[in-house]
Amino acid sequence: MGAWRHFPIFMITLPLLGAVLMPFLGYLRERWVPYAALLPLAASTLLGFLLVGRIPAGDHLSYHLGGWEPPFGIEIRVDHVGLFLMLVVCAITLLALVYSRRYIEKEVSPGRRTAYYVLYLLMSGAMLGFTATGDIFNLFVFMEILALSSYALVAITGNRNAVRAAFKYVLMGAPSSIMVLLAVGFLYSVTGTLNMADLASRIAESGYTEVLVVSYILFVIGFGVKAALFPLHMWLPDAHSIAPSPISALLSGLLVEVCAFALVRITFSVFTRSATDLVGGTADAVGVAAAAAVLYGGIMAITQKDLKVMIAYSTVSHIGYIFLGITAFTAEGLTGAMYHMLDHGLAKACLFLCAGNFIYLKGYRRIEELRGAWRQMPWTCFAFALASISVIGIPPTAGFISKWYLILGNIRAGKWLYTIVLLSGSILAAVYCLRIIYYMFFQAGKEEAWEDASRDVPPGMLVPVWALSLGTLFFGVFSYLLIPSLLKASAYLL
């Protein structure tokens, strides 16, 4: 039993611990907080990378909290896919935190800055725990931490619109949490266990089909709201566009993904294959919703005038991609969905941070105002272009690889309509992304719009943006690092 077996729990608890300690540091030395907050996340990231290659393929690492054996104790369960997603979470939260320092100085009033970092670390830790836990009650607990911290972060600037958006988010988020809690309760009542692996074996035996169906539907709706699956997405465009940009990046790039992933685990690790006929009808409904999301999100994104709202609607569309990959129920589709979580996370975080750069430097939010932006902010614009290319799915970016597998998975499943929906979704993405690129690079803006300041944003904000956009390129070219193991892991899940 090597020390590395303890890594997952440290990955989760370090940010949470950091969140607890941050207020004290903020009281003593407020200026240090932005730097100190980096430490726990950097440590988690490092531990995550050290875990790579240690978990055997097709197997999982099971950690028993406090030494209590699973059905009764809390289990942390990390398999290949989970670790992969945890690394994505670590990397993106770390980068967005680096970005935050400058941005928050400008957007958030001094008294709230420490709170921002506390909530940020809470949210990061909760996302990691959410991804790794092997216990459905824990899943609910982490989801609540995640949700509460994200409500607060959306409202952190304290202005009217932000509070309204956060309120809207709470209005939808709170019932969804209760639904998940209810579902957990139902499952417990019929099986008498909360551990996922244990549940999987007992669900098949228990005869309470109606209860199972209801609890599965509750899970789907509960996580569906959090993952902003159409038509439960109403909170998303407001919350994602009004939150401070690094928070938008996390919400759009990670939160919706991990919630989708939670649903994947509930579907494949809890309800499993034996109960597929039970979830089958629900899965079909999810598929229809996802297909609608792809088209609706894309069309709404095209009609937007505000850059961040446009990116938010694009997220609605891309959540549809992920769910279409999942509902294909094929290894390729699931791989595509997983890979899309990665590349959409990177690309969307990058887009939001770029939008943040424009707000930070010029206060520009509207798409029209970006005309000729290239001249003053070349670095931001190039990063934006690269990330948008990934969003569209043009090779050689990672978006292309995930689109490939999503479509391959749907073809294998014989779902022709969804294949066409996915293809149309990428055409819509091309429309809304290329429009921005066109404005930035090929249109001359008003002279005075870009004249006064001659520099791009400071390096502290450029480096995260570029790291993310180069990440999309990297995982496009070096996809062999992940795809084979993802394919194997997906086949194992199914």
User: Would you tell me which residues interact with other proteins (CB under 8 A)?
Assistant: 389, 394-396, 400-401, 403-404, 407-408, 411-412, 419, 423-424, 426-427, 430-431, 434, 442, 477-480, 483-484, 487
Cβ nearer to other proteins, comparing 115 with 473? 473
Cβ nearer to other proteins, comparing 45 with 479? 479
Cβ nearer to other proteins, comparing 52 with 427? 427
CA 237 – CA 165 distance, rounded (Å): 9
CB of 95 to other proteins, least distance (A): 24
CB of 408 to other proteins, least distance (A): 5
Cβ nearer to other proteins, comparing 8 with 372? 372
CA 366 – CA 272 distance, rounded (Å): 46
Cβ nearer to other proteins, comparing 182 with 423? 423
Cβ nearer to other proteins, comparing 45 with 419? 419
CB of 379 to other proteins, least distance (A): 14
Closest CA to 163 of 173, 155, 172: 155
CB of 230 to other proteins, least distance (A): 22
CB of 362 to other proteins, least distance (A): 23
CB of 404 to other proteins, least distance (A): 6
Cβ nearer to other proteins, comparing 11 with 401? 401
Cβ nearer to other proteins, comparing 189 with 303? 303
Cβ nearer to other proteins, comparing 15 with 336? 336
Query: With helix as H, strand as E and coil as C, how does the chain read?
Result: CCHHHHHHHHHHHHHHHHHHHHHHHHHHCHHHHHHHCHHHHHHHHHHHHHHCCCCCCCCEEEEEHHHCCCCCCCEEEEEHHHHHHHHHHHHHHHHHHHHHHHHHHHHCCHHHHHHHHHHHHHHHHHHHHHHHECEHHHHHHHHHHHHHHHHHHHCCCCCHHHHHHHHHHHHHHHHHHHHHHHHHHHHHHHHCCCEHHHHHHHHHHCCCHHHHHHHHHHHHHHHHHHCCCCCCCCHHHHHHHHCCHHHHHHHHHHHHHHHHHHHHHHHHHHHCHHHHHHHHHHHHHHHHHHHHHHHHHHHHHHHCCEHHHHHHHHHHHHHHHHHHHHHCCCHHHHHHHHHHHHHHHHHHHHHHHHHHHHHHHHCCCECHHHCCHHHHCHHHHHHHHHHHHHHHCCCCCHHHHHHHHHHHHHHHCCCHHHHHHHHHHHHHHHHHHHHHHHHHHHCCCCHHHCCCCCCCCCHHHHHHHHHHHHHHHHHHHCHHHCHHHHHHHHHHHC
CB of 432 to other proteins, least distance (A): 12
- What are the beta bridge partners of residue 362? none
CA 53 – CA 51 distance, rounded (Å): 6
Cβ nearer to other proteins, comparing 32 with 442? 442
CB of 331 to other proteins, least distance (A): 11
CB of 437 to other proteins, least distance (A): 9
CB of 389 to other proteins, least distance (A): 8
